[in-house]
Amino acid sequence: MTNNDEARTPAGPGAGGSLTRAEAVAAWREQRRARRRVATQADGVDGFALRRWRRAGVFGAEAALRVQEIVEELLDLETFDGDLSEDALDVLRRCRDGEPVAELSGAVRSVVESAEPAKAVAVLTVVHDAKLPWLAPVGERRLAYLMGEETAILDPEDFPAPSEDAAGAFALLRALRGDDAGHLPSSVCTSVLPWAPLAVLDDLIEADVLTRGAAPWQLRESGQDQRYLMARLAPEELTPEDIQELDWTDARERRQFLEDADAEWTEGGVCHLLQRAAEGDTSMLKELEDALPRPLVLELRRIQDGAVIGNWDSDLLADRSLWRLMSALWTPKAAVNPARSDFHALTALRYAYDAVVIGELKKARLQLDKFGEFKDADPRLQAEVWNMRAYLALLREDLETALFALGRIDHDIPNTRSNRQLVQRRREIPRNDRPHPSNPYLELGLPNGSEVWKHRYRDLRRAYADDRDEAARLNRAMRRIQQAEHAEDWSAFFVLPLDEDAFTLPSAPPAVLIPPLEALPRRTESQSSAALSAVRDRAVAGLLPTLLNAPRRPDHQHRTTA
């Protein structure tokens, strides 16, 4: 009857449930253990059984019960591991069947050495708690220390030799328990890198024991571990894919900012503040200073100091990525000398154009005259200068001067030919019959051909609702644009600028103000108890050969009860 009960496959959790073979075997073994525990607890361990267990170095009823459970668990390993010697298995089976033998500790050692560290710790916990005499004297002291006994103190001669602690787990455990990770030898640090929990490696990083030079990411098998350790010690070596896998917002935004990507920045972050500054919002410079490291704060103040009179050091002027910020900080009060630098030349060109757009033609002429003294300007800038001179001459009906200015422009530059033809046609028309010479788009403050002119017109009409002269000028510009759109002919408008890009400030982000990528903040628990337990398990498994020993023979005075 008993055999039939043991062979029956247990039912699943639901009606008609089915189990895999492994699940069925595990359930059957649990049933068998439960029956044995019930029988043993009901009947106790008789004196004959206790004497037999003493041959295996097990003393007392409680110890015998716990060792029986160990034997059952180790025999379970046989089914799934399959690497155990037949002699060891035979000893375990005999002990399970009620015939304990002296070779039990050796068999346990053989099985545990091939088991996972957690299983080895579970077995040795029973050995320690039950005070089984399976340990060498030094093994007893080491195991007591490993199990965390408060009274366990190791003398220096009890420390395992480096050859016994090849993985460095015991030395690491001592350092962590004594809060002395900062004095961990480099050789031990190297030994633990392939297996130590990340929380422990973070502790070593914070203790300045583990540094970039050790390159711990090269010793880890897990790709996620490799990325994490690289982010903690050498973040600049991460690829965009690594940063994405780590879900590291600061690093991702920094890379996108340097690549001038169109992205949404974290509100109040360095990239967000720099973007606003570069776009002309100087109200947040104090907030930006608070977000920058000290060296970059000093760099930012150099830029701000130069904006007082528009005079910067040559290294700042040479960095085109700073031009947008410098332009936002500096508003020229008078004509700019374009010969001072490429930045000043572009600023002078923009200054002249803005003066033309707002109708301050005298100010525009004074600025354009400054270019007459600057022969080495960029050809594109020179073309725009001559084109604006031609436009100002056209507004004065000085057509010969306008043609002369246009003649100084390279014929290959777009729109130059159409402007020249416009002036030539105008010269052939009697003065009183000529249409208004201005470009209506410019009168609205827009570049020639702008598609947003209607919105601009409505905004200006609301702004100058009470100014009859200004309203008349705006209405004239509106009608001329409507007529051109109706006829699909814009040839009556002088094209200015020839090329809008010539007036555009560089869009490159101010890389000199981007802080270097700092290490990823720690993502693991500091002094983690789980990580410490994992180190302890590794130390126990590594020291097994020095812990377990043949059992001592009992004397006649040894107690036989728990």
For the stretch 146-175, pLDDT in tens is 888 766 778 888 888 888 889 999 999 988
**DSSP single-letter state for residue 489:** -
Closest CA to 393 of 430, 368, 428, 418: 368
- The predicted structure's pLDDT at residue 35: 56
- Provide CB contacts within 8 A for 470, sequence distance 6+: 460, 464
Q: Is the peptide bond before 13 cis (omega within 30 degrees of 0)?
A: no
Q: Is residue 19 predicted with pLDDT exceeding 90? A: no
For residue 216, what is the DSSP state?
G
- The mean pLDDT value of the chain amounts to 83
Q: At what angle do helices 529-542 and 117-129 cross, to 10 degrees?
A: 80
Q: Is the pLDDT of residue 134 over 80?
A: no
Helices (H), 358-467: 361-371, 379-395, 399-407, 416-427, 440-443, 453-463
CA atoms within 13 A on the CB side of 232: 25
Whether the pLDDT of residue 33 is over 50: the answer is: yes
| 195 confidence band (pLDDT: 50, 70, 90) | very high
Query: What's the chain's length in residues?
Result: 562
**Bigger pLDDT: 547 vs 272:** 272
Claim: this prediction has a pTM higher than 0.85: no
Which DSSP category does 360 fall into?
-
Span 240-247, average pLDDT? 94
**Could you tell me what percent of the chain has a pLDDT over 90?**
39
Q: Which two tokens stand for residue 423?
A: 């002036």
Between 91-100, 150-159, 423-432, 534-543, the lowest mean confidence (pLDDT) is in: 150-159
pLDDT of residue 283: 84
The average pLDDT across 257-270 equals 78
Q: Residue 388 and residue 402: Cα distance in Å, rounded?
A: 9
Look-up: residue for tokens 């803005």? 354
Q: Is the pLDDT of residue 302 over 80?
A: yes
pLDDT: which is higher, 180 or 457: 457
How many other CB atoms are there within 10 angstroms of residue 63's CB atom?
Answer: 21
Q: Which two tokens stand for residue 281?
A: 């919002």
pLDDT band with cut points at 50, 70 and 90 for residue 491: confident
Tens of pLDDT, residues 308-351: 999 999 999 999 999 999 999 999 999 999 989 999 999 999 99
pLDDT band at 466 (very low <50, low <70, confident <90, very high): confident
Q: With beta carbons less than 8 A apart as the criterion, state whether 133 and 57 touch.
A: yes
Is 12 a residue whose pLDDT tops 80?
A: no
DSSP state of 548: B
Per-residue confidence at 378, pLDDT binned at 50, 70, 90?
confident
Gyration radius from the chain CA atoms? 43
DSSP category for residue 520: P
Q: What is the pLDDT of residue 161?
A: 87
Token representation of residue 305: 């100091």
- Contacts of residue 380, defined as CB under 8 A and 6 or more positions apart, other chains included, come to 413, 499, 502
The whole-angstrom separation of Cα 469 and Cα 560 is 118
For residue 221, which amino acid is it? E
Alpha-carbon dihedral 452, 458, 463, 469, rounded to 10 degrees? 100
Q: Please give the backbone phi and psi of residue 236, each rounded to the nearest 5 degrees, phi first.
A: -70, -15
pLDDT at 260: 72
Residues 270 and 558: their CA atoms lie apart, in Å, by: 74
CA distance 533 to 375: 77
Are 168 and 543 within 8 A, CB to CB?
no
Residue linked to tokens 């903690």: 232
Quote the pLDDT of residue 558.
42
pLDDT computed for residue 38 by the predictor: 47
